[in-house]
Amino acid sequence: MAIVRRLLYFLLIVTASIEPGLSQEYRQSIDMHIPFMPGSVIMNGIPTVYYELYLTNFSNDSISLEKMEVLDVIDSSVVVSFNRNDLINRFSRLGLQMKDTENIIAPGNSRVVYLELQNDKRDVRLIHRLNFALSQGNKKQTFSVQGAFNSLSEKPRIVLGAPLRGGPWVAVYDPSWSRGHRRVIYTVGGKARIPGRFAIDFIKLDKRGHYANGDNDVVKNWYGYGAEVLAVSDGIISATRDDFQESTTLSNHPECPAEKATGNYISLDIGNYCIAFYEHLKPGSIKVVTGQRVKKGDVIATVGFTGQTTGPHLHFHVADQHSALGAEGIPFAFESFTVLGAYADFGKFGKDLWISVKESGND
């Protein structure tokens, strides 16, 4: 018994000796945490990690986030650094689903910082160092907080077949959009999640870069409307919904609340806690039922105009739960595709031709 007591005493002494900050002046400040860390995804040929850092101000003063560094714990090297302006573009107030115009966090308030960092290492341990400024009267104090430790380990990537045929299809995705899938948080079952973290909206164009033949307001004029939707993998249909109707024009499309954002949809269980979601499907076009087994390439529905959408397209994403809104979006890759070009200015999308790969010098 004496040996056990000595051992416990030794452990307590060791623990106390390595506790960080015991000799420093205590400052009530910020809580930071990462609720979910997905695996990396290949973006423009580079492995990239997308995640969110949640910040809550527990102090009695408003503080401003001036700088943030993501460090490699092993060698203390800086993986990526963000200055004040960078952070403003990545800052979001909870509940408002919009960018902040300033980097100030009031007492008791929370913010989300949306992060994307390139990583070509197989195993990385990260920690975050944040520099804050605090104004008290005419004095401005600065201090730093380090925390939100997390490990990045390479996970097997999900490789899928094509969800559509033909083309050209534009894969619409931009992580910086305040109302893009990447930054829309849903709370289901008492937990906040981002199901569309890696969601793609597929919109078909013609050779001139237009998405409709004639009047853009007429749904049936859109080139992608009614296109066949394909199973991206062998799997089992886990859910379907087909009770939404369509308006014939964009201008008459009803507004849909969050719980109806998906419109008519299909979820396909492809195994290993990976669920593929197809949304905004055409009424009456769903060709499968819950529990049905499908093969990769099977036609399961057609592209429509239902739910929360501004035009006919296929919304596609992969998540870790059987819930369209109550799941975390996870990365995936397609077996094959041909890159024709890109839109540097999305304001020209649907009006002008994309910048071809050869013109951009990336062939």
Task: Work out the burial of residue 216: count CB atoms within 10 Å of its CB; fewer than 13 is exposed, 13-18 middle, 19 or more buried.
Answer: middle
Domain with CATH 2.60.40.1470 in the chain: 27-153
- Which class would CATH give 27-153? mainly beta
**CA–CA dist 299, 266 (Å, integer):** 12
pLDDT score of 18: 37
Q: Do residues 117 and 124 touch, judged by C-beta distance below 8 A?
A: no
Sequence-separated (6 or more) residues with CB below 8 Å from residue 48: 40, 41, 42, 116, 117, 118, 119
**Residue whose entry in the numeric block shows the structure tokens 């115009």:** 101
Q: pLDDT (tens digit, 9 = 90+) per residue, 250-309?
A: 999 998 888 899 999 999 999 999 999 999 999 999 999 999 999 999 999 999 999 999
pLDDT in tens, the chain (363 residues): 444 444 333 333 333 333 444 445 677 889 999 999 998 888 877 888 999 999 999 999 999 999 999 999 988 889 999 999 999 889 888 765 555 567 889 899 999 999 998 877 767 899 999 999 986 666 778 999 999 999 887 777 899 999 999 989 999 998 888 778 999 999 999 999 999 999 999 999 999 999 999 999 999 999 999 999 999 999 999 999 999 999 999 999 998 888 899 999 999 999 999 999 999 999 999 999 999 999 999 999 999 999 999 999 999 999 999 999 999 999 999 999 999 999 989 889 999 999 998 755 554
- The structure tokens listed for 231 are 């199973």
| CA-closest candidate to residue 49, choices 70, 74, 76 | 70
**CA–CA dist 220, 287 (Å, integer):** 20
What is the signed CA dihedral for 102, 182, 321, 265, rounded to 10 degrees? 130
**CA–CA dist 102, 294 (Å, integer):** 49
Q: Strand 293-294 vs strand 333-334: parallel, antiparallel, or unpaired?
A: unpaired
Q: Do residues 214 and 249 touch, judged by C-beta distance below 8 A?
A: no
Q: Do residues 68 and 81 touch, judged by C-beta distance below 8 A?
A: yes
Fold of the 159-348 domain: Glucose Permease (Domain IIA) (2.70.70)
Sequence-separated (6 or more) residues with CB below 8 Å from residue 323: 188, 195
Domain with CATH 2.70.70.10 in the chain: 159-348
CA distance readout (Å), 104 to 52, 53, 56, 113: 18, 15, 11, 12
pLDDT score of 96: 55
